[in-house]
Each structure stands twice: as C-alpha cells, then as structure tokens.
Amino acid sequence: MHSSRLQEITDDYSRLRIALVGDFCLDRYMEIDPAKQETSIETGLPVHNVVNVRSQPGAAGTILNNLVALGIGEVYPVGFCGEDGEGYELQRALFAKPGVQAGHFLQTSQRRTFTYCKPLVIDPGKPPVELHRLDSKNWTPTPDSVQGQVIDSLRSLATTVDAIILMDQVDVPETGVVTTQLLHEIGRIIKSRSELLVIADSRRGLKGYPPVCFKMNSAELRALTGADSELPLNELKRTASSLAQNHGRNVFVTLAELGILGAAPGGEIDYVPAFPVQSQIDVVGAGDSVTANLTAALAAGATQQEAMELAMAAASIVIHQLGTTGTASVRQIQALIRRGMSE
C-alpha cells in the first residue's frame, strides 16, 4: 500500500459512525505484588495482596477500545450491563472515551454485568503472569423485554451509521446480546439497506447468521463448512471463496502466525502474511483489533487487500502489549506499515 493511499484511508476515520452490537464485559485486572504474599491465619492458604486494580471494557468493549484508538468519529455501543458495581465500572470506562455515545447502552436489573476478573502477578523485571481467571456471566436466556430494547436501538441506528459490528462472546446461546431475535432484525435491516457494511464475529460460530461479512479463524471456518481439519493454505482459500460466493458477502479468516485471508463474493481472494514477532507476545485481543480495523478500513473505502494490511499491522502492535488487552492507533499502524515498506 502506498503511503498516500494509507493516509487517504485513515484520514476518513474521523467522519465514520459505527454501531457495535454485542456482549460488553468488564475486564478487571488485579495486580498482585509477590513480595507482599502472606499466609492466612484462618485457613493456612496463601494470600495474594492486590496493590492496584485496573478496569477497562472487554469482549465487544475491546473492539470499541480499538475503534476509539483509531479515532472513529462516533461509536455507538449497543448492549447491556447489570445494576451492580461492575456495571458502574463498565459504563464509566466506556463513556469516558472520546466519541463513544451513551444513548443505546442499557443498564438493567434483569442481567448481571459480564466480567472477566484477571489476577496478574507483577514481578519487577518480568512479564506479568495471569493466574486463574474469575468470570461472572449470565446463564439464563436474555429476557424478551431486554432483547426488545436492544433491537429497538439497533433499528434506530441502522439508518444512520456507516457500519455495524456484531460481537457474540457468550458461551451459552440466547444468554447474551446477539440472540435469534436480534439476528432476524439484522436480516430485515440488510434487506432494506443492502449496501450497509455489517461484520460478524462469534465465539460459537456463525452458522445461521444472515448475509453479513464473516470474520472467523481457520478452525471456525472448518467447523462452519464441514471441511477436514488442518487444511493447507490453498485449500483454506478455496473453502473461504466458496463460502463467500454462496453467502454473498466477504469472508475474512485469521490464520494466527500465518496472517489473514479474505474472499469476496465475486471470487477475489487476497492473502496478507502476519508481521514478524519481535519479542514476547500476548495474543489476547488480537482478533478484536482485526475486527475493528477491517470494519473501519472497509467503511472508509479500502479494498479487501488494503483492509487486511491495516488489520495485520494492528494485530502485530496489539500482541506485543503484555499484561493488558491492547489497542493500536493510526499513528502506530502507519509507522509499522511504512517501516515494512522501507525494509
């Protein structure tokens, strides 16, 4: 990608309006000082003393963090949290960010706030070490009244935004934001506004989704299409291309250290390798940075190939950030791509 084209695409980000529909969680990092370890008098068990607590939006919130880092003009989170302390922390973290609009995020007593509590041992001079995580989730179906409010927000935003991202993070179907009812509404929206960019990512797979752009990893592609395991790159390309043509929308497949491939409905297939690893890495959040950058670039008029180049640069920046779920700014992405062009 030429430097002038890179600038042209990213200069457009400030005018974009993107709706982010999905499961927002609170990432709560609890930093433990191992030098302050004690033993409980009552139980005889080790006591880990927490010396600092950091909270930031996670799951769909990680995509939001990356959209904000890119300087997207307006980001509309569509989802919910509980009427609990974690919900307060999550909303404070969300709406302190520039460009994030609060009008479509629901707080309700009928749900608890999805929370990842991550104890981190912070030993000076060493990478952070994450201990066993403590999760808080919803295990019952999302009430119809909550689904209705979320769908109303989606419907009102669909006529004005440049793109919609769907992020399904829950383990149990129908317990989060992206429910069957919501997907039916997405299908109706696409019928009335076929040019609208909609990109979906789901940890449970994208089977049954309406005709939207798919973002998945190679294992999810194989599961969705019934392909054999451990397909070589050329077979993955053919499988993704067939899916894109049958589905009628672009398909993006992340390939871990190999990079990413993209397939368009018209048969075009592109591949972008990953940037070389420079030091110790932490892959948490890399996929979400890819989703954010694909969406922003495509909404700004980038080609499939250009969007994937930007996404791979962002992922490289994110994985080199340890002890946090990182983000990549336009300046960082531009610097990495330009450095790659000069080498």
| Residues in contact with 342: Cβ distance below 8 Å, sequence separation at least 6, in sequence order | none
Average pLDDT of the residues in 294-300: 98
> What is the predicted pLDDT for the residue at 201?
97
Task: Tell me what the mean pLDDT of segment 49-56 comes to.
Answer: 94
pLDDT of amino acid 187: 97
Q: What percent of the chain has pLDDT over 90?
A: 81
Question: What CATH number does the domain containing 23 carry?
Answer: 3.40.1190.20
pTM over 0.75: yes
Give the mean pLDDT of 19-43: 96
Angle 100-101-103 from CA coordinates, rounded to 5°: 155
Query: Domain span at residue 28?
Result: 3-342
What is the model's pLDDT at position 278?
73
Looking at the structure of the chain, the number of domains it has is: 1
Local confidence band at 135 (pLDDT 50, 70, 90 cut-offs): very high
Rounded distance between C-alpha atoms, residue 307 and residue 293, angstroms? 7
Task: Kindly indicate the confidence band of residue 184, based on its pLDDT and cuts at 50, 70 and 90.
Answer: very high
94's CB contacts (< 8 A; 6+ apart) are: 24, 57, 61, 64, 77, 100, 102, 105
Per the CB < 8 A criterion, the answer to whether 184 and 208 are in contact is no
Give me the chain's average pLDDT, please: 92
pLDDT tens profile 227-254 = 876 788 899 999 999 999 999 999 999 9
Taking Cα atoms as reference points, which of 277, 231, 279, 221 lies closest to residue 254?
A: 221
Distance CA 121, CA 32 (A): 5
Average pLDDT (197-225) is 95
Residue 57, pLDDT > 60, answer yes
